[in-house]
Amino acid sequence: MPSSPRPGTSRPAMSPELREVYAALLERAPENRIEPDLSRIRRVMELMGDPQNSYRSIRIAGTNGKTTTARILERILREAGLRTGRTTSPHLRSPAERIAIDGAPIDDEGFVQAYRDVEPFAQIVDAESRAAGGPRLTYFEYLTAMAFQAFASAPVDVAVVETGMGGAWDATGAVDPDVAVIAPISLDHQEYLGDTIAEIAGEKAGILTASAIAVLAEQPYQDAADVLRERVEELGAEASVEGQQIGVLARTPGVGGQMLSLQGIAGRYEEVFLSLLGEHQARNALLAVAAAEALLGGGTTPLDGELLQAALSSVTSPGRAEVVRQAPTVLLDAAHNPAGALTLVATVRENFRFTRTIGVVGILQEKDAEEILEVLEPLLDAVVITRSSSPRAIPADRLADIARAVFDDEDRVLEQESLPDAIQIAVDLAEADGDQFGGVVVAGSVTLAAEVRELLGVDEEL
């Protein structure tokens, strides 16, 4: 197994200009530090002439599944002939991935231009906020303003907007969406969103408005479902809920994806192939189909069947249940919280028959490492504990101590600070004794998934 990218597939270097503006953005705050206040983003948008109001928009919140739902939805809308903008987070290789036009990340020059377009207005807002004793625009607020400006400059017909965290005070709240989608809600980011499912659901429900058609996933916790239902009733909003108006009627796993039958808001879609693995991806596709129906026909006109098939059969979601190597199979997934880990375990068990399963795990400091490892432990014959290059990554020796306590068997836990070496060790274990049917599962963080993609030379367009 190569410990570095194959020739011709290494990551393109950022341009000097992109490195400069990205460094300036990072000085504003780490990604995981936010300021729960919409006043700054609304003010900078106002000064810029509210570019986010020049196109229709769909806003997506939830704990897991937001990025994939956004990618599927955007693919459907593009197949329908609309010019799309998409903003998602975090990125895998380059910050430019966060702003996509017509399904492709903007280039370095476009990212830099978006930064410069926002800069004079950001300086005004920074000065006003500091004079009032507040902070500058945060990293995420600035990036959100850049995305909205880039979409207006393109121009796009519709923007698919993934919230960064929460919903009620997330910077993406500067848009007034036509459709609001809420994916499954579970515990994550408790330091900002609250300690209970009900509190977190209350924050996510902040994306719902009286004028936006709501598309709601079936919730794994009744408290979340209750909060969303009450908010919809309070607003008098039109809503389609998974398990009620919409649903996955049938699914058959297959090679490279799965065959689905879906009940949307306006139509029933039989035998549609989705090029993604796992029940969760079928449910993400359902949300995307319903949101597309809501936007394109107000929820009263079914999607064209050939259009939908073309979209779902070609969609990708890098770093989410993604096979990045064969012989042995290497599957990677961000799986950065316990709910994501549960989904990953179910996906592996449904789609793969590994004779032995070796994990490569690295987790960020603010995450519940012990619970993530507890979820993964029954799946794994052995685990190689490592870390990504993120400064937020738990050191390998400390995470390995947690893993040994969870696995209760020191022989099943290996520790390797070097990620390339960790991957090599896992591959060797999967292939031990000439085994041709072992597999490697990489999980724990988006940054880990991104770096493994690069190490293995995965050059698929993001």
Q: What are phi and psi of 57, to 5 degrees?
A: -150, 155
Q: What are phi and psi of 384, to 5 degrees?
A: -105, 115
Task: Identify the architecture of domain 322-455 in CATH.
Answer: Alpha-Beta Complex (3.90)
Average pLDDT over residues 153-171: 91
Tokens standing for 91? 């990125």
Is the distance from CB of 418 to CB of 386 less than 8 angstroms? yes
Least confident of 22-31, 252-261, 277-286, 321-330: 22-31
* Tens digits of residue pLDDT in 83-97: 999 999 888 888 999
Residues 6+ positions from 53 with CB-CB distance below 8 Å: 175, 176
Q: Which long-range contacts (CB under 8 A, 24 or more apart) does 224-228 make?
A: 224/184, 224/185, 224/197, 224/198, 224/200, 226/198, 227/198, 227/201, 227/202, 228/182, 228/201, 228/204
Q: Please work out, in degrees rounded to the nearest 5, the angle formed at the alpha carbon of residue 390 by the alpha carbons of 388 and 392.
A: 115
Residues 6+ positions from 167 with CB-CB distance below 8 Å: 61, 173, 182, 203, 204, 205, 206, 207
Yes or no: domain 16-312 corresponds to CATH 3.30.413.10: no
Query: How far, in Å, CA of 429 to CA of 352, rounded?
Result: 17
* Tens digits of residue pLDDT in 20-75: 999 999 998 754 456 678 999 999 999 999 999 999 999 999 988 999 999 999 99
Residue 271 neighbours by CB distance under 10 Å? 11
Comma-separated ranges of CATH 3.90.190.20 domains in the chain: 322-455
Residues 6+ positions from 420 with CB-CB distance below 8 Å: 3, 4, 455
Query: How far, in Å, CA of 236 to CA of 348, rounded?
Result: 41
Q: Which long-range contacts (CB under 8 A, 24 or more apart) does 297-306 make?
A: 297/266, 298/213, 299/213, 299/238, 299/240, 299/265, 299/266, 300/265, 300/266, 301/266, 302/264, 302/266, 302/267, 302/268, 302/269, 303/76, 303/80, 303/264, 303/266, 303/267, 303/269, 304/80, 305/269, 305/272
The mean predicted confidence, pLDDT, of the chain is 91
Residue 7 has pLDDT above 50, yes or no: no
Q: How far is CA 247 from CA 266, 270, 374, in A?
A: 12, 12, 31
Query: How far, in Å, CA of 192 to CA of 190, rounded?
Result: 5
Query: How far, in Å, CA of 140 to CA of 150, rounded?
Result: 15
Tokens standing for 265? 């808001």
Radius of gyration of the chain (CA): 22
Tokens standing for 177? 């969406």
213-248: b (≥16 Cβ within 10 Å) or e: bbbbbbbebebbbebbeebbeebebbbbbbeeebbb
* Tens digits of residue pLDDT in 406-448: 999 989 999 999 999 999 999 999 999 888 899 999 999 989 9
pLDDT of residue 436: 85
Tokens standing for 451? 């770096």
Residue 9 has pLDDT above 50, yes or no: no
Tokens standing for 32? 């995981």
Is the distance from CB of 383 to CB of 412 less than 8 angstroms? yes
Is the distance from CB of 174 to CB of 52 less than 8 angstroms? yes
* Tens digits of residue pLDDT in 106-144: 999 999 999 999 999 999 999 999 999 988 999 999 999
Q: What are phi and psi of 38, to 5 degrees?
A: -90, 0
Residue 378 has pLDDT above 80, yes or no: yes
Residue 280 has pLDDT above 90, yes or no: yes
Tokens standing for 302? 């079914």
Query: How far, in Å, CA of 389 to CA of 400, rounded?
Result: 17
* Tens digits of residue pLDDT in 202-216: 989 999 999 999 999
For the full predicted model, state whether its pTM sits above 0.75. yes
Query: How far, in Å, CA of 228 to CA of 374, rounded?
Result: 30
Query: What is the residue type of 120?
Result: P
In DSSP terms, 274 is beta-bridged to: 258
Least confident of 45-54, 190-199, 281-290: 190-199
Average pLDDT over residues 173-188: 91
Closest CA to 261 of 285, 293, 296, 291: 285
Comma-separated ranges of CATH 3.40.1190.10 domains in the chain: 16-312
pLDDT of residue 193: 64
Query: How far, in Å, CA of 162 to CA of 144, rounded?
Result: 10
* Tens digits of residue pLDDT in 241-269: 999 999 999 999 988 899 999 999 999 99
